[in-house]
Structure 1
Amino acid sequence: MPTLPTALDPTAPAYASHRAATLAKLAALQEAHAGALAGGGDKYLARHRARGKLLARERVELLLDPDTPFLELSPLAAWGSDYPVGASMVTGIGVVEGVECLITANDPTVRGGASNPWTLKKALRANQIAYENRLPCISLVESGGADLPSQKEIFIPGGALFREITRLSAAGIPTVAVVFGNSTAGGAYVPGMSDHTVMIKDRSKVFLGGPPLVKMATGEESDDESLGGADMHARTSGLADHYAVDEHDALHQARRVVARLNWRKAHPDPDPETVQEPRYDQEELAGIVPGDLKTPFDPREVVARIVDASDFDEFKPLYGTSLVTGWARLHGYPVGILANAQGVLFSAESQKAAQFVQLANQRDIPLLFLHNTTGYMVGKEYEQGGIIKHGAMMINAVANSRVPHLSVLMGASYGAGHYGMCGRAYDPRFLFAWPTAKSAVMGPQQLAGVLSIVARASAAAKGQPYDEEGDAALRAVVEQQIESESLPMFLSGRLYDDGVIDPRDTRTVLGLCLSAIHTAPVEGVRGGFGVFRM
């Protein structure tokens, strides 16, 4: 087999420096994740437990098959905003009764599980993942509906959440709701529109308007149980399909629902006996990306530590050498890999990428994009050489490719290179970032420099003296702003990725994603790429 060689020396000072920088960023990442795990804080966690209730992640854990992984998605949603980190919801992929499912769970310790604008974005992203990958969707519901002070940002776009539940069902993708507490107003439509609904005696409360709202609207006196309790919905309205005596029983009944789905993956899982671990230590992934992204690194060192047996058949290795392309298997699944080598994409790299994407579509092979690019090359020579049309060729191929795409931002991901390497706007099935990654229209120094040149030219055109001190101060402010806005936690907080991951977990995360992807048919486009400008 064509095993990749390695030139990485774990005893070298450069490796130690890179590793130390990565571990420092991981420590900051863990601190941010701790904020999501803290939910509403000690006071509300204690109050929730005093009511005899399980926490959101405890519910998820009991729902899953024992000793199976849970790939949590968007855990840093709302980071850097005015809302709690995690957006009062847990989402992810896990195995229930042998079936890979998309799971969402409201966190009732955060404002009663009410949905804020970031909760909506996170829930819609989860539904998109379920729809694209044909994953049964299980909602663990305990929500007071919209966070009313932010209703102007939720009400109108929020209807898409209920639309997507019905579309999942219409596509034959099962939807299951388990109601643990209040499911009020808009929250009532989640159990109301799901295929299967489980409610809990004396706990579940599902109504469009609670007693106070009913009193205001109609003058009618009512109580929670007669208006929307589990007993009423099980015996009278018929909304409850399954009636549980407590939370554990509800989770057991949800598992039995999944067991009876007769659910089958479009593609069988690879035989685990045939899957070989990489020949190199995955721990070494923490020391590959330099602390300064201007320093290049060989992405083959990453590929060698994530693909099966470090076995990689490179495509066009001598042409367009700043982009590495080739074929491998990852946890037994075939993948085509595009990985930036020296940062800049030239015409040759763009044409090479376009051809490689076409080949993957001919073979029905998913594509993995490993980002470390400053974008497409600029300058008179390259413009005259056709960099625009060649870059457009690559972007065209990526945009119209139909095989599933996975993206991992390892280092820089700037400019249109972010698009050509299947950034968020190009709908990869999953996109993750390493804590070493940065993404923006261009690097902070370049962007500040461009603004400085434009301002200097403007002053010269007007015959005015240029304020050098003011220019230096402006450049410093702009650089700081762009630097902070290009960091992975900032971008993850806005759901521009599905999570910031430890580089050493990359193979595991990608394996879980590939398994989920193969629940749906994997089929490439035959033709249909539009016009390639030659």
Structure 2
Amino acid sequence: MAHTWSPEIEEIDRRAARAALMGGAEKVARQRAAGRSTVRDRIAELLDDGSFEEIGALAGFPSADEHGEVDVMPANFLFGLGDIDGRRVAVGADDFTIRGGAADASIMAKQVDSERLAGAMRVPLVRLIEGTGGGGSVKMIESAGYTYVPANPGWDHVVANMSLVPVVAACMGPVAGLGAARAVMSHLSILIEGQSQLFVAGPPVVRHATGADLDKEQLGGAGVHARSGAIDRVVPDEAAAMAAIRQFLGYLPSSVHELPPVGAGCPPAGDAEVLADLVPRNRRQPYKLKPLLDAVFDEGSVFSTAGYGASVYTGLARLDGHPVGVVATDPYKGATMTPNGADALTRLIDLCETFHLPLVSLTDQAGMMIGLDAEKAASIRRGARAVAAAYQARIPMAEVIVRRVFGVGGAGQINRHRYSRQWAWPSGDWGSLPVEGGIEAAYRRDLEASDDPDRLLKEIQDRLEDARSPFHTAERYGVQDVIDPRRTRDLLVRWVRDAYRVLPELVGPPSLGVRP
């Protein structure tokens, strides 16, 4: 049956069908042959079935053949709304099958509108980035006939969203320039091993500017960014990237104007009994972190947020269904706060402060990293920045001192000048610096004057060993409670229920704007 607007309605369907073809069969086949999904496949994988509502599908670049038949090459950026586990999200994704994701095949207003959409609707934003997403190629200068003073399109919205809604960015292939900046302007950035790379400028530009002959993987692959601090998580494939996005967003509210979603709690995977034997009496012997996390938090809920943190572990987890931030130490990677570890801690605290997650510190901190490499990496400034983040945060914090608390790093892992619930295990060991590192310096003259310095040293060590007992600290209320480690989860579950009662007071934008 013909209708008044039948020709135009048919044209809408024809153009929508053309947009669904992306860069065409040949380009799509090339994308898949390289082991990468198409942009539409990725969106389908990420979102709940049938929930994607595309915006601007008809935007593109029209051309007519000799018969006047119009073909519209779609813009290489898709965006719209959809659902993840029933919750609304905004998605913006690059289409590499059209000019390799370059800006000269984009309509920048769509990318800007994806940012505006997330902020206006107060929903999380997922960026699936592949390409440059920036100012385009040098050829554009000739075709345009002029150059321009750069301004990052829509960057006011990009910056504002960091303090408003959860933002996740996944590098789905090579990402450079403005695309790389969009990747790190997020609360969680993801790189796919062997498939995606991140760099300010690609190999040809680097070769011309510096003479270094590097391929994409050498310049910005997983081997570089697993420890650089630019990328939070490296995953093995696209399916793992989508799973990480979905899991991460599950801990967070849709915006700063809501509270984190509390679900049904479940028992931990680990047995509390292991905690009584977890920390060896030999202070130089490490323990494994995973059994601690497994015994404290809900089964399957622990999510690591910063792979580059070295000994400083940061993550998200649930206590009886309540999302929390987690900071701990992985003794097999060291005991001190490295500069990268300080950055990881800063980002975790800022994330929790922004989205109102209480913070649990499983403290084992031997102080900030020392030595020449540490000084070259500005260890003290980056460590002090982490301490400042802890002191500026308003969220409820709880601390379980598992082992060490030393130096500026240990002193500032949480803000001990405000009220926070605190427990210590019998393995707790604290002070300005470890006793072992200062005995011979502090008692040098006594030892030099002694007829039997070895015997005197042993006597001093025995006296100090008694003095450093956590029970003496507890007697003077220098620590709130010394507990049986097996009680840790039960006590934290009680605390988190109380913490969530005061969280409504914090709803709204963070006290300080969030930076990447």
Give the TM-score, by structure 2 length: 0.45
The structure carrying a bigger helix percent of its residues is: 1
Highest CA radius of gyration, 1 or 2? 2
